[in-house]
């Protein structure tokens, strides 16, 4: 059986890379000529540039976004005996980062409209052992900085931002990564700013945290062969840093393109609200950088209806995704934490409803129209079936 040709891919990185191929090749060749493959010049250059672009002061490149969270928390002196609040509806890397430092993760529910952490729910779980909160800037939208800062001040907590999906996102005059004590970013290839492999970074305005992070990523060494604390090998490759540095000047425009694409989706999907197609709410305007464009297939009590819609879109060559189908507390690996189905109803309901549509710079208006037309056709077909029953 022949598979349907892809008409609208979920992500198309070639549209970003082809126009700047010469710059990318030059960046890679410069590393090859210098031969500084580990912690080379491009790493330091990119760390400085990305931290500045994110309205912060120090950047420390590491091997992945997961390491940026785990080592970053360690650099912030979060560890055994500490409780850390985080949302249940996030990628498991956020939770894994907390577990890696020996802290106790305290999961909370999300806002059903934005899918961002519910700070009112977070307030109910603060204890004397609570040391930090990790707001996840999910899908490219920041958690309200003003509300976060008020929350942290009220309960005397450290803010550690998970900004893996929110490169240069803005809200209330803040850039993602500039709100808290420190922030973790991922440069996985499909991110708004993506490498040609794995990569991550911690950014902070605190020089002591930055220096500790520099040690932790490099075996805990204060200088070569002098190891002052247990560390690991987690260094952003010089080649990857060079690629990221070449792409960074284009990031703002790429983000603007994503936001424009989202506005087109919003406009064209508006007529389907009565059929239960509801985009996850944007409360940040142009500051939302739309790493993902996510809709809710509302009034669905199980994922079967979503699966049917996803299958029908796939059958006509339109790729989609689900971010994420199982909340952290229901993942098999973490049942020992003691959470049960029903503990976080908004997160659990969203996991059954959400569907990520194609989103990337270069997605054309005609492709957006194709996606919406197919969804409209599917919903119309469902309505006709109901009427004929």
**389 pLDDT above the threshold of 80:** no
Tell me how far apart the alpha carbons of residues 69 and 78 are, in angstroms, rounded to a whole number.
Answer: 11
pLDDT at residue 303 in the model? 66
Ordered DSSP codes for 214-260: HHHTBTTEEETTEE-S---B---BHHHHHHHHHHGGGHHHHHHHHHH
pLDDT at residue 380 in the model? 84
Query: Contact at 8 Å (CB) between 84 and 132?
Result: yes
Q: Tokens 């892809």 sit at which residue?
A: 6
Q: What share of the chain is helix, strand, coil (3-state, %, to 5)?
A: 45, 15, 35
Tell me how far apart the alpha carbons of residues 114 and 91 are, in angstroms, rounded to a whole number.
Answer: 16
Share of the chain above pLDDT 90, in %: 94
Q: Which of 174, 236, 382 is nearest to 297 (CA)?
A: 382
pLDDT in tens, 81-127: 999 999 999 999 999 999 999 999 999 999 999 999 999 999 999 99
Lowest mean pLDDT among 54-58, 134-138, 368-372, 381-385: 381-385
pLDDT in tens, 151-209: 999 999 999 999 999 999 999 999 999 999 999 999 999 999 999 999 999 999 999 99
* Segment 35-40 mean pLDDT: 97
Burial of 29 per CB tally in 10 Å (0-12, 13-18, 19+): exposed
**16 pLDDT above the threshold of 80:** yes
Q: For every residue of 315-333, which 3-state class applies, written as one string?
A: HCCECCECCCCCCHHHCHH
pLDDT in tens, 240-277: 999 999 999 999 999 999 999 999 999 999 999 999 99
Q: What is the mean pLDDT of the chain?
A: 95
Q: Which of 255, 265, 248 is nearest to 287 (CA)?
A: 255
pLDDT in tens, 125-165: 999 999 999 999 999 999 999 999 999 999 999 999 999 99
Give the side-chain half-sphere CA count within 13 A for 240. 23
pLDDT at residue 54 in the model? 98
pLDDT at residue 386 in the model? 46
**Where residue 64 falls among pLDDT bands split at 50, 70, 90?**
very high
> Is 191 a known active-site residue?
yes
Domains of the chain: 14-108+115-250 (3.40.640.10), 251-388 (3.90.1150.10)
**300 pLDDT above the threshold of 60:** no
Q: Which of 191, 212, 247, 296 is catalytic?
A: 191
Tell me how far apart the alpha carbons of residues 200 and 188 are, in angstroms, rounded to a whole number.
Answer: 8
**Where residue 298 falls among pLDDT bands split at 50, 70, 90?**
confident
């Amino acid at each position: 059986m022949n598979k349907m040709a892809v008409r609208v891919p979920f992500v198309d990185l070639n549209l970003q890379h082809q126009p700047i191929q010469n710059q990318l090749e030059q960046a890679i060749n410069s590393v090859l000529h210098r031969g500084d493959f580990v912690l080379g010049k491009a790493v330091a250059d990119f760390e400085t540039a990305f931290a500045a672009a994110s309205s912060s002061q120090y950047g420390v490149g590491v091997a992945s976004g997961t390491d940026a969270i785990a080592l970053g928390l360690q650099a912030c002196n979060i560890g055994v005996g500490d409780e850390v609040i985080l949302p249940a509806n996030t990628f498991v890397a956020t939770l894994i980062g907390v577990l890696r430092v020996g802290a106790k993760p305290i999961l909370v529910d999300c806002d059903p409209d934005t899918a961002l952490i519910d700070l009112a729910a977070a307030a109910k779980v603060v204890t004397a052992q609570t040391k930090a909160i990790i707001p996840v800037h999910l899908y490219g939208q920041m958690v309200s900085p003003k509300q976060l800062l008020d929350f942290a001040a009220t309960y005397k907590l450290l803010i550690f931002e998970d900004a893996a999906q929110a490169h240069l996102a803005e809200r209330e005059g803040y850039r993602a990564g500039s709100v808290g004590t420190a922030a973790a970013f991922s440069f996985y290839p499909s991110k708004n700013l993506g490498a040609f492999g794995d990569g991550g970074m911690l950014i902070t305005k605190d020089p002591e945290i930055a220096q500790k992070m520099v040690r932790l990523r490099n075996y805990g060494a204060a200088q070569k062969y002098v190891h002052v604390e247990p560390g690991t090998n987690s260094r952003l490759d010089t080649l990857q840093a060079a690629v990221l540095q070449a792409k960074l000047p284009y990031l703002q425009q790429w983000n603007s393109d994503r936001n424009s694409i989202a506005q087109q989706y919003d406009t064209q999907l508006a007529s389907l609200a009565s059929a239960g197609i509801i985009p996850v709410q944007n409360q940040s305007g142009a500051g939302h950088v739309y790493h993902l464009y996510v809709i809710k297939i509302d009034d669905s009590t199980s994922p079967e209806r979503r699966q049917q819609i996803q299958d029908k879109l796939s059958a006509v060559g339109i790729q989609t995704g689900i971010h994420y189908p199982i909340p952290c507390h229901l993942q098999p690996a973490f049942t020992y934490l003691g959470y049960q189905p029903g503990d976080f109803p908004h997160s659990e309901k969203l996991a059954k409803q959400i569907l990520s549509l194609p989103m990337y710079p270069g997605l054309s208006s005609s492709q957006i129209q194709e996606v919406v037309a197919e969804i409209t056709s599917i919903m119309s077909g469902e309505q006709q079936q109901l009427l004929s029953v």
